[in-house]
């Protein structure tokens, strides 16, 4: 879908945002690095790379990753992807979960050292910490609007930003709200 969006928006000043490659469930993680690098090339350097931790349903139930390993696998996958994007030479990866004798990324992303990274989430404080420590953008996935959990998540995230001594840059946080549109209000509710 990202390649279709990249082509359809060719010549426009807009980003192509991919939020859905769940890292702990990706085998091996350099596939995400390659797919995102290809999207960055196709889009002419307009990719924003989402790196979600994923939900228990997604990672544990659908892909069989034990819950106790989910965050460790995520961090290792993240580190492998960044190294694949930034290394100029072939390298071996000997991690706890992934052992790869020769990582040789092709193509390379246009954006250097790598595309901007957004971390989507629903309010986990450990995800806040990870996002702020790496100077990424946190993208809150709201399914219930600004008035429900959004205010507490927003305030919690900005509290971590302040606690870690980062600037209050508005580009540190995004808000994703699902919206349904149809011919009438009744049809929208039914759909």
Structure tokens at 124: 């986990």
Query: Distance of alpha carbon 87 from its chain centroid, rounded?
Result: 20
pLDDT at residue 66, as a whole number: 84
pLDDT of residue 58: 74
CA dist., res. 67 & res. 61, Å (int): 10
Within 10 A of 59 (CB to CB), how many other CB atoms are there? 23
| 152-189: pLDDT as tens digits | 888 999 999 999 999 999 999 998 887 888 999 999 88
- At 73-84, the pLDDT tens digits run 999 999 999 999
Give pLDDT, residue 59.
76
- CATH among 3.40.50.150, 3.60.150.10, 3.20.20.30, 3.30.420.40 for 2-190: 3.20.20.30
pLDDT above 70 (res 89): yes
For residue 16, what pLDDT is reported?
A: 95
Asked if 49 and 116 count as a contact pair (C-beta separation under 8 A), the reply is: yes
The CA distance from 48 to 39, in Å, is 9
| Per-residue pLDDT, 64 | 80
pLDDT band for position 149 (cuts 50, 70, 90): low
pLDDT digits over 31-82, tens only?
999 999 999 999 999 999 999 998 777 777 777 888 888 899 999 999 999 9
Would you list the domain boundaries of the chain? 2-190
Average model confidence (pLDDT) for the chain?
91
What's the distance, Cα to Cα, between the start and end of the chain in Å? 23
pTM, full prediction = 0.89
> What percent of the chain has pLDDT above 70?
98
- Tens-place pLDDT, residues 110-143: 999 999 999 999 889 999 999 999 999 999 988 7
Characterize 21-46 residue by residue with b for buried, 16 or more Cβ atoms within 10 angstroms of its Cβ, and e for exposed: bbbbbbeebbebbbbbbbbbbbbeeb
Distance CA 93, CA 76 (A): 10
Residue 149, burial from CB neighbour count under 10 angstroms (0-12, 13-18, 19+)? middle
> Do residues 56 and 122 lie in contact, with contact meaning Cβ atoms separated by under 8 Å?
no
The answer to whether 60 and 70 have CB atoms below 8 angstroms apart is yes
Rg of the Cα trace of the chain? Answer: 18
């Amino acid at each position: 879908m990202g390649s279709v969006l990249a082509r359809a928006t060719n010549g426009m000043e807009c980003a192509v945002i991919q939020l859905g490659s769940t890292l702990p469930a990706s085998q091996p993680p350099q596939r995400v690095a390659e797919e995102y690098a290809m999207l960055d090339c196709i889009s002419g350097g307009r990719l924003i790379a989402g790196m979600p931790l994923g939900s228990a349903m997604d990672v544990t139930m659908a892909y069989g990753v034990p819950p106790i390993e989910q965050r460790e696998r995520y961090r290792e996958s993240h580190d492998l992807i960044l190294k694949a994007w930034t290394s100029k030479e072939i390298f071996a990866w000997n991690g706890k979960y992934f052992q790869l004798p020769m990582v040789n990324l092709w193509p390379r992303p246009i954006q250097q050292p790598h595309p901007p990274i957004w971390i989507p989430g629903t309010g986990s404080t450990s995800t806040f910490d990870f996002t702020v420590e790496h100077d990424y953008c946190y993208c809150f996935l709201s399914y219930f609007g600004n008035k429900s959990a959004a205010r507490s998540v927003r305030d919690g995230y900005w509290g971590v930003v302040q606690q870690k001594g980062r600037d209050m840059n508005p580009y540190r946080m995004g808000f994703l709200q699902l919206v349904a549109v149809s011919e009438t209000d009744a049809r929208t509710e039914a759909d």
